[in-house]
A = this chain, B = another copy of it.
Amino acid sequence: MAKELTSMSENYSQWYNDLVVKADLAENSAVRGCMVIKPYGYAIWEKMQAQLDKMFKETGHVNAYFPLFIPKSFFSKEAAHVEGFAKECAVVTHYRLKNDEDGNGIVVDPDAKLEEELIVRPTSETIIWNTYKNWIQSWRDLPILCNQWANVVRWEMRTRLFLRTAEFLWQEGHTAHATKEEAIEETYKMVNVYADFAEKYMAVPVIKGHKSENERFAGALDTLCIEALMQDGKALQAGTSHFLGQNFAKAFDVQFANKEGKLEHVWASSWGVSTRLMGALVMAHSDDNGLVLPPKLAPFQVVVVPIYKKDEQLSQISEKVEAIIEKLRAKGISVKYDDSDAKKPGWKFAEYELKGVPVRLAIGPRDIENGTVEVARRDLLSKEVVNMDGIDDYIENLLDDIQSSIYKKAFDYRADRTTEVDTWDEFKDVLNTKGGFISAHWDGSPETEQKIKEETKATIRCIPLDAKEEEGKCIYTGKPSNKRVLFAIAY
C-alpha cells in the first residue's frame, strides 16, 4: 500500500535516500550531482529560510546580492582560500555556442573564449571583499552586516541528496568590522543564532564549538560550528561561523580610516547554513514509516482525512471539518483537508505518515454522531479519540508537545551516544560498537588528529565552547591535554 522504504536497521544510507525521494523532498537531476528540490521539500526549506531570515534581521543584518561568477584571479589572492575552494569547481570558459558547420547540432564557439575564466561561486568571500573595498572608507562605514541567499557550486565527486550536492542553496553572511573584538563577537553571535534555530525550530540539539585547525574554513583564523548527531551515530556539521581576521581585507586591500584618521585593515566574519540542514532534519527524527517533521517547520501541521462510504456522509463530515479548520487557522495552525476520492483512507494515512505531517485527524460517521475526532500523532504513531469541543486548544497543545518531545528524544539519544573515554583501546571500541560522540583528550596537534582519522575515520567534530578545564592525557600520544574534545565519524 505505502511506498516501500528500506528500513533504517537494514541499510541506513539507503533508508535515507529512499525517504528523501519517496517523501517528495528531492531527487537527482539529469545534471551530475545537482538535485531537484521538489515542492514538498522546498516548502520545508522556505520555512527554514523565513525563520532564519527573521533571526538575521533581528540581529541587525540586511540582505544583498553579489555575482554568481568570480574571476579566477580573485581566488589566488588569499593563499589558504585558494587551496580550499578553487580546485573542484565549475569553470566558465566561453560565452557563446554556435551551430556546428558540419551539422552536429550546437557547439562551443572557439572565438568566444573568455580572457579570464570565471568560477561559479563555491563561496563568496573574494567577490564580496572586492566589493566592500569600494564601500568602506572610514570607521563611519562600519560595521557592514550583509547576508546573501544564493546558490553555490562545489564539484563534489560523491554526492548525496541534500548532504553533499554539486549545487546547493544556502545563505552566507559577510560582515566587516572596525575591531577584532567586534568581529569575534559577531562570529559567536551567529553560531548562537544557528544553535537556537536548530534546537527551537528543527528540534535538533547541537553542540557549539571550535573546529580544530585541520577542519577550519580555508582562510579563517577560527571556525565555530554547530554539530548534530544523526540516528546512525554519525555527526553532521550543521552550520559554521568564521572569524576571518584581516585575511580578506589584506588580500583585497580593504582599509578604513579610524577615529584618529589612521588607516587600518578591516576585520571580517562569515557564516553560513545550507540545504544540508534538510538532510539533518530528515536524519535526526524520521523512522521506518517515513519523515517525522517538527511542527514549526512542517509545510502543513495537521491533515484531516474523512472516512465515509456515501456522499451524504462526506458532506456531513465536511461541514464539521470546515468548522474545525476555521478554528485551527485562527490559531495560526496550518491544515490540509484531503477529501479527494481518488485514494482510500488507508493509502492517505500511510502517505501522510511518510510525509511526516505532525497530526492527523480522521473523522467518520460515528465521530459525527458522538461529537468526536480521532487524533493521531506522527512522532509516537499513537491515536486517541478526542471530543470535538475544544479540539483547537487540544491540537495547539499537542503540536507544542510534539515539538518538545522530538527534541527531547533526539537529546536523550545524543546523551546516550556521547561517551567519555580515556584510552585508545576504549576509543576504538566505542567507535566500532556504539558510535556517536566520543569525548576524549587530545594533544592539540594536527598530526595526531590526522593519524586518528587515518586509523579510525573519526575526526574532531569540535572543541566544545563549554568544555571545562581538566587535566588529562591524549588518548593517542599520551601527551598532556587540558580539555576534552568531541570525536565522531561524520557526514
Contact = CB atoms under 8 A, between A and B. Distances in A.
A93 B93 contact: yes
A39 B69 contact: no
A46 interface: yes
Interface in A114-158: 117-120, 127, 130-131, 134, 140, 146, 150-151, 153, 155
A350 B31 CA distance: 51
A197 to B, nearest CB: 20
Nearest to A150: B151
A89 B93 contact: no
A90 B92 contact: yes
Contact of A106 (B37, B65, B67, B82): B82
Contacts of A70: 31
Contacts of A66: 29, 36
A73 B155 contact: no
Contacts of A151: 68, 150-151
Contacts of A380: none
Interface string A23-65: 0000101110011111100110110000000000000001111
A29 B167 contact: no
A430 to B, nearest CB: 38
Nearest to A131: B36
Contact of A71 (B31, B91, B94, B169): B31
B71 A97 contact: no
A69 B127 contact: no
A397 interface: no
Nearest to A86: B97
A72 B89 contact: no
Residue among A62, A64, A67, A151 facing the most chain B CB atoms (10 A cut-off) = A67
Contact of A46 (B36, B63, B72, B117): B63
A48 to B, nearest CB: 13
A96 interface: yes
A65 B150 CA distance: 12
A35 B119 CA distance: 16
A63 B39 contact: yes
A271 interface: no
Contact of A118 (B36, B90, B127): B90
Contacts of A73: 105
A342 B140 contact: yes
Nearest to A94: B91
A75 interface: yes
A138 to B, nearest CB: 10
B96 A155 contact: yes
Contacts of A45: 65
23 contacts: A29-B67, A29-B131, A30-B127, A31-B71, A34-B67, A34-B68, A34-B69, A36-B131, A39-B146, A43-B62, A46-B63, A65-B169, A86-B97, A87-B97, A87-B98, A88-B95, A88-B96, A91-B95, A91-B97, A91-B108, A92-B93, A92-B120, A108-B117
Interface of A: 27, 29-31, 34-39, 42-43, 45-46, 62-76, 82, 86-98, 105-106, 108, 117-120, 127, 130-131, 134, 140, 146, 150-151, 153, 155, 167, 169, 342
**Smallest CB-CB A-B distances: 8 pairs:** A34-B67, A39-B62, A37-B65, A91-B94, A95-B155, A31-B67, A76-B105, A93-B93
